[in-house]
Structure 1
Amino acid sequence: MKNYFFTLLLVISLNGFSQKISGKVTYVVSMESYTKEKIDSIAKNLKTKNVKMDKWMRDILENTPDVKAFLEFNNTESLYFVEDKMQNDGKPTYNVNRTSAGGNDKYYKNTKTGEYFKENSTFGELLLIEIDTKKWEITQESKKIGNYLCYKAIDIASTNRKMKPVVWFTPEIPVSFGPLKFNGLPGLVILVEMSKRTISASEIILNPKDKIIINKPTKGDKITAEEARQRGAAMWKKIEKQ
């Protein structure tokens, strides 16, 4: 039954792909602020490493305002990015929620060429890091979100023990795109639910008068997802030794 249901959604989606479509989605990324108990626990853990948590760090964890992110797409390409940095009295302020939403990274996907990577500068240089494709379990559970009938899919390969990310996508907008790494389904991702975080579409503009132009990131060396993980592990080891 599940295989039949997935095939039906795929057929609906493929039929939609035969028509030209483009659009822009505005997502609101929300994150639950850390509790005092959680912050105290983090501070205690840092103390064992001779690191003191100052007021600036506490304020960051206690305040995680919502941020906006955008997804631009056509039939075969998409680009996801977060709004410009927040300003406070003319000075840039750090928001951990913005970092979780993607920070300065740009996520590019091309279903025709198979390209799927993000532009990233975490390691001190601009890189184009390939992204692993997620494995989804599409369920028959559905609900109406705004004007769209959406279906539930679960990220079965997630290592998140508390809660595997759940997404709600709609075959009524037949593009295989979504925010961050949440895509690859037979329909646009409308809502992502994670432990203490959500990414929800607040506005969807389809086939706007002004043509959607996808600016594919091209600067930087390309590396694989595994190479990025190795670099990240090496960076943390260096930090811990300091």
Structure 2
Amino acid sequence: MKKLLIMIITATILFVVSSLKAQEFSGQAVYFSKTVMKGMKMKINGVEMSEAEQEKFEQRMNKMNEKTFFLDFNKYESVYYEEQKLDAPTSKSGMVFSSSDTEKIYKEIKTNQKMAEKDFFGKEFLIVDSLPNWNWQLEGETKKIGDYTCYKAVSIKKATSEELADYEESKKKQEQSKTSFFMMSEPKDRVTTVWYTPEIPVSQGPGEFWGLPGLILEASFDDTTILCSKVVINPKEKIRINKPKKGKKITEKEYDKIVEDKLSEYKDGDGVIQIKIDKN
């Protein structure tokens, strides 16, 4: 009986120590995000932009879509946020051309919770929802990113019938319209490819990515690539994971509706988004 008690006490101590070590494990990863705009057709008062105008516009957009992000993480939590910079310039129409809104994304694996702090057109929102399910397909391919051996994983999100129907309707309106607007791209299956390393045993990654047996160091989807340039494990200055708190609390679905309603303010009678382009 005495031996059994000693074994139970020993096992309990080892469990507590192991748990404390897991909680103390923390780090910070730095990511560079780049979105490349290619071949987006545009019209100005019914006339397509020249190749030179198109190239100049794409260069400006691509430069604006180069960003640096930080991921602070421990064993079960992470917060992803953008490097602080001056406000992005706006067009004469007042619209901000950017690949994403200013945001801070918090992920908690134990409770399967996501919290995102977003600033959209000067209004702050706190989005609280479940973590997305990526349904990763693990593949055997490996490569080195810095000093870490990484493994490939792929997620495929099928284009929905609603997206295809919206595209066909928008295409008809765009062909008839004489206003200035972006040409909507045909919806396709969205393939996301990531590279993760089990050498950093946290199920975290940039943005909303998570759910793999190791930190995600690279992600590519659509025309965007996110690449980790630096990882610091257990830095001298303790990493603190602070949950987002600012903004009106809503769900992801409610936020999407707010964005849709706001963009509708920029649509003309044909239902397409009007823009003004400064050629200088």
Report the TM-score range of the alignment, normalised by the length of the smaller protein.
Answer: 0.7 to 0.9
Aligned partners of 1:60 and 1:94 also within 8 Å:
no
Q: Which amino acid aligns with 1:126?
A: E
Q: CA deviation at 1:220?
A: 2.0
Other-structure match for 1:121: 119
| 8 Å Cα contact 1:118-1:129 kept in structure 2 | yes
Q: Once the two structures are aligned, what percentage of the paired residues are identical? A: 34
User: 1:64-213 maps to which residues of 2 (within 5 A)?
Assistant: 64=64, 66-86=66-86, 92-94=87-89, 99-100=98-99, 102-122=100-120, 124-130=122-128, 132-135=131-134, 136-157=136-157, 159=159, 161=188, 164-213=191-240
What residue number does 1:26 align with?
30
Q: Deviations over 1:57-81 (max 9, x none)?
A: 6663263463211000111211101
Is the CA contact 2:101–2:118 (under 8 Å) kept in the aligned structure 1? no
For residues 146 and 17 of structure 1, the distance between their equivalents in structure 2, rounded to whole angstroms, comes to 29
Instruction: Look at both structures and tell me which one has the larger radius of gyration over its CA atoms.
Output: 2
- Check 1:94–1:16 CA distance in 2 against 1; reply closer, same or farther (3 A cut): farther
Give the distance between the partners of 1:122 and 1:65, measured in 2 at CA: 17
**C-alpha distance 30-123 of structure 1, shift in aligned 2 (>3 A):** closer
Change (3 A) 1:94 1:162: farther
Equivalent residue, structure 2, for 1:3: none
Unaligned residue ranges in structure 1 (runs of 5+): 1-14, 87-91
1:216 aligns with 2:243: yes
Instruction: Indicate conservation of the 8 Å contact 1:17/1:175, yes or no.
Output: no
Letter in 2 for 1:21: F
**Please, what TM-score do these two structures have when normalized by structure 2?**
0.65
CA contact (8 A) 1:29 1:66 kept: yes
Q: TM-score, normalised by structure 1?
A: 0.74
What's the counterpart of residue 4 of structure 1?
Answer: none
Q: CA deviation at 1:129?
A: 1.3
**Which residue pairs with 2:175 in the alignment?**
none
Report the aligned-residue RMSD: 3.3
Contact 2:115 2:243 in 1 (8 A): no
Shift of 1:153: 1.4
* Stretches of structure 2 lacking an aligned partner (at least 5 in a row): 1-17, 48-52, 91-96, 160-186, 270-280
